[in-house]
Structure 1
Amino acid sequence: MTPSAVRPIRHLRWWIIAMVMVGTAVNYLARSALGSAAPTLTKELDMSTQAYSYVVAAFQLAYTIVQPLAGWILDVLGAKVGLFVFAIGWSLANMAHALATGWPSLAVYRGLLGVFEGAVIPAGMKAVSDWFPDKERSVATGWFNIGTAIGSMIAPPLVVWCILVGSWRLAFIVTGAVGLVWAALWLAFYRRPQEHSRISPEELAYIEAGQAPDAAPAEGPRRPSWITIARTRNFWAIALPRFLADPAWQTFNFWIPLYLVTVRGMDLKQIAAFAWLPFLAADLGSIFGGYLSPALMRFGGVSLLTARKLTILTGSVLMIGPACIAFAPNAYWAIALFCVGGFAHQILSGALITLSADVFPKHQVATATGMAGTAAWTGGLLFSLLVGALATTIGYNPLFVCLAIFDLIGAALVFSLLRKPALA
């Protein structure tokens, strides 16, 4: 069917990114279900804090290892088929959590979830690189990246409701089933712009005219190379700061409920009422960060990459907020500082993720994003193990200070390493 055979949808690219955002939210709903169920799980399965950190690490280890492969598969198969397969996998793996009888079996199912969930961010960036001109990429990334926070925000009230009306096992079945529904919708409706029957000729021309030559559609298939990407300076300008930044986001996802219960004395209903607020703030940070780069370019007269650098620096400075949680007089002030952290992290994270589409050609975007994701999740994995080992001895507060220091170092690395790429 040719594009002229059906009525075009106005601004179709924004509908596409909305679909990516929903998929990202579904993905993060699945992974965040564990953190929300943790206070109940640790009691019913007789899990120590150390054992819980092993379960978290199983997901992080699998997710870390699989991301370059997931990105490569997406670059070869395309976002449509590739993400559909991964979404089916993560949904079934999440539902399998309901079969756990102790922390070892829970860790196995958690590891399977990590294997399949590693595709969502590379797929999102591949869709952005296909569907958006350069000047709109950070905005598009900001909007789809709010899905990470929406999923994490929905998880506490939904999981607690499932526990109260049924059990923690029901929570994993429900959150997994949502993913199966989204996967079917993705397969039915997603296409590349050149293949989509509902895109107008004007929008297609606008997208292609706004993309730099090294991001133009390839003449025939080109296979991405991990080695070629790893040899570039710009890859490390993205990967090292992501290694330093991701411990904050994974700490917020996996440890906030336990921190609020064990340190701040909250109960399960209070967790459901308040633990989602940092992720609402993170949504706002994603949107703000997405618009900050083009605003800096328009009103500050800076280049695209300089705008990205300044956005990352802004988020890094704001991360000083959660570093001050030790001074919070009560749980509500602590949550407020977590909100500052969620807002700050998503500002810098969105800019870092968008850089893959800024400095790599289309046929390498998902692979480069996946490789940088491996660096990010390596940092998160190591830090989660550190939290599990030290939280009961030195407390959480010094660990929160480390998160701010990491991000400031990461911003310095972006400024020193990132360079404008040569045209392909």
Structure 2
Amino acid sequence: MRVRSLRKSSRAGDAEGSSDRLSGPARLDRRTKRLCGRLEPVDIAVIDHVDLDRVAADSLVATGVKAVVNASKSISGRYPNLGPQVLVENGITLIDEVGEEIFDKVRDGKRISIEGDKVYLGEEVVAQGRRETADSVNADMDSAREGLSVQLEAFAANTMEYLKRERDLLLDGVGVPEVRTKFNGRHCLIVIRGYNYKEDIDVLRPYIREFKPVLIGVDGGADALLEAGYTPDMIVGDMDSVSDDALRCGAEVVVHAYADGRAPGMERTDKLGVSATPFPAAATSEDIAMLLADEKGSELIVAVGTHVTLVEFLDKGRGGMASTFLTRLRVGGKLVDAKGVSRLYRQNVSFSALLLLIVSALAAMATAVAISAVGRSFIDVLADWWDGLIFQIQRLF
């Protein structure tokens, strides 16, 4: 953390700009999730993300960048994705649909400027797109809502296709690997670095302290647990967004593999010298974490940062989300969203109520002392001591 702070301080003067022109080092990556790991507040993020989803937008906001340049359409019109709205509401400049050529014209770390809807390298215009505003985003969202019916049909078709491929896993748990972590009869807390995960972990502290659930971090969710002061019992995912430190923390590692058995994440764990177990499945990483916990006998599964509403399902914008819907049917009544648990365990004791409790306890103790024989003797001894103290003080004067 100290090194990162020094880097921020040393580069704080790199970014200049006003309401008319904004400048800073360009950081480019076609994978938004990977790019967020190296962004600084002075940077301008250059991405290639069709239908920017809310999780990616939240990650960009968390880095503190002042501008995002997207080579693709942030809202294509297929469905009302939430990412652009998040960026605009947080005051981040969004230049949309500038074209893939920007990745050829601008090198990573090179200083660029934004003025209006144009991107400059020095004084040369290297890209031009559409500068998004709250009004333009709202208009695009309204148009996108008209395409929801088409997306629902595609979602239903993907769901049926997934059911055909993975029915043995969903119905009978065939393919779930053997693990050393003990789930039977215990609660399980699965953390995905998704919607409002920090707030949910914070309000779940009383629950974690009381029930001591099995802690599973899904990819970057393992880092979220470590940042909150907890050590994960297990890390599940394709290992593309979890840190080396998290992988070395001692947690059991389960690598999400493709249905055909290929597991690119195993290469990374092998290089780190971390033993890992592959889990081949067509589902998402958060889904296989839930399926594993359910199959191994977990009594209750609490999910942090997962997808709950239909809009959140569609917001991910990929066919794999069909597995999420079916996984929730498979897990059934065991699954509880963190927000529900946090409401049950939220502590709202006011200061006045706490003060009244303390005064009542002191009054009860004083009454008990006054009416008991031992208490009266103690009061007599205390009175004699006080009289002696006063007498000694009077003698001095």
**Higher RCO by CA contacts (8 Å cutoff, separation 6 or greater):** 1
Normalising by structure 1, what TM-score?
0.24
Is the helix fraction higher in 1 or 2?
Answer: 1
